C-alpha cells in the first residue's frame, strides 16, 4: 500500500508545489511508482507539469461525478489534476457528516497501485487541508528562513496536533525544510538557526537553495531533473529526497 505524504504550509509562495513536483519526479526516477495530487485551487502543480485543460480533476472526483483519474506524465509518475473549483469545496461539502474523510475514501482503491502518493496542499488550513491530513501518513513543511516564518508554522503544527488527537492518530510530521535559501544572507542564516533551536529534530539538514532553474522549469512543463539535471536545484532536491526517505 502506497505511503501518503502531504506537503503543507499555511503561507503561500514557499516552494511547496515546486517541492512536490521535484520530489515526486526524483522518486519516479529512482523506480518508485508515484502519484501526485494537486489539491491547490491555483492548480500550479498541474500547469507546471504540462497538463492543460484536464477533462477530469480531483474536484469532480471528490464530488463523485466520476472516478479518480490519473494522467500519466512519464514512467512511474502520474498526476491527478487540480481545479480552481476546489476553492468552493468547503461550501459544497462543509456540512457532510464524513467531510474530512472524502479524500481518504477516494484514494483507498488506488493506494496499492503506487509506492508514494504526494499531496500538494493549498496555502490555507481549510477543509481540503483537513482532508489531506486525515489520510496522510506523514507530512513535510517547506519554509522560507525569514522574518515571521514561524507564525504560520505554529498554526500548521496546532492543526496537526488536533488532527492526531481526533481524526488521524497515525499522522506524523516528517520534518520542516528550508526553500529559496540563500546562505550568504545573515538574516536567513540566523533565522534558520533560531528555528533549528526552536524545533529540535524537526528541521531537515538539506535546504533548497534559491535557483533560477527551479523557477524556469515549470514554464516548460518540466521537473528540475529533466530541465537542468546539473543545476544546484537538482542537486538540492536529490539530497533532500534521500533525507526524506530516512524519516
Residue 100 to residues 18, 22, 132, 215, 221, Cα–Cα distance (Å) = 26, 28, 8, 33, 32
**pLDDT per position in the chain (247 positions), as tens?**
899 999 999 988 899 999 999 999 999 999 999 999 999 999 999 999 999 989 999 999 999 999 999 999 999 999 999 999 999 999 999 999 999 999 999 999 999 999 999 999 999 999 999 999 999 999 999 999 887 777 789 899 999 999 999 999 999 999 999 999 998 888 889 989 999 999 999 999 999 999 999 999 999 999 999 999 999 999 999 999 999 999 9
What integer pLDDT is reported at residue 219 of this predicted model? 95
Domains of the chain in start order, with CATH, are 3-244 (3.40.50.300)
Cβ neighbourhood burial of 100 (10 Å; 0-12, 13-18, 19+): buried
Determine the distance from the C-alpha atom of residue 217 to the mean position of all C-alpha atoms in its chain, rounded to a whole number: 17
What integer pLDDT is reported at residue 17 of this predicted model? 97
| pTM value surpassing 0.85 | yes
Specify the DSSP element, H or E, that contains 165.
helix 149-166
What integer pLDDT is reported at residue 240 of this predicted model? 98
Amino acid at each position: 500500500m502506497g505511503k501518503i505524504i502531504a506537503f503543507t504550509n499555511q503561507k503561500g509562495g514557499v516552494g511547496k508545489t515546486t517541492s512536490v513536483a521535484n520530489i515526486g519526479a526524483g522518486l519516479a526516477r529512482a523506480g518508485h511508482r508515484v502519484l501526485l495530487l494537486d489539491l491547490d485551487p491555483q492548480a500550479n502543480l498541474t500547469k507546471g507539469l504540462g497538463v492543460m485543460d484536464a477533462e477530469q480533476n480531483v474536484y469532480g472526483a471528490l464530488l463523485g461525478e466520476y472516478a479518480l483519474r490519473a494522467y500519466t506524465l512519464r514512467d512511474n509518475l502520474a498526476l491527478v489534476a487540480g481545479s480552481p473549483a476546489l476553492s468552493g469545496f468547503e461550501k459544497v461539502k462543509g456540512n457532510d457528516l464524513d467531510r474530512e474523510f472524502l479524500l481518504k475514501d477516494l484514494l483507498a482503491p488506488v493506494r496499492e497501485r503506487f509506492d508514494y502518493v504526494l499531496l500538494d496542499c493549498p496555502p490555507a488550513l481549510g477543509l481540503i487541508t483537513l482532508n489531506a491530513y486525515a489520510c496522510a501518513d506523514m507530512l513535510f513543511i517547506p519554509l522560507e528562513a525569514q522574518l515571521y516564518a514561524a507564525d504560520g508554522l505554529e498554526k500548521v503544527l496546532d492543526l496537526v496536533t488536533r488532527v492526531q488527537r481526533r481524526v488521524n492518530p497515525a499522522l506524523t510530521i516528517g520534518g520542516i525544510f528550508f526553500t529559496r535559501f540563500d546562505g550568504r544572507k545573515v538574516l536567513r542564516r540566523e533565522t534558520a538557526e533560531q528555528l533549528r533551536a526552536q524545533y529540535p529534530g524537526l528541521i531537515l539538514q538539506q535546504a533548497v537553495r534559491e535557483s533560477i532553474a527551479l523557477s524556469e522549469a515549470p514554464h516548460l512543463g518540466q521537473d528540475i531533473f529533466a530541465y537542468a539535471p546539473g543545476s544546484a536545484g537538482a542537486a538540492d532536491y536529490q539530497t533532500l529526497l534521500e533525507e526524506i526517505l530516512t524519516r
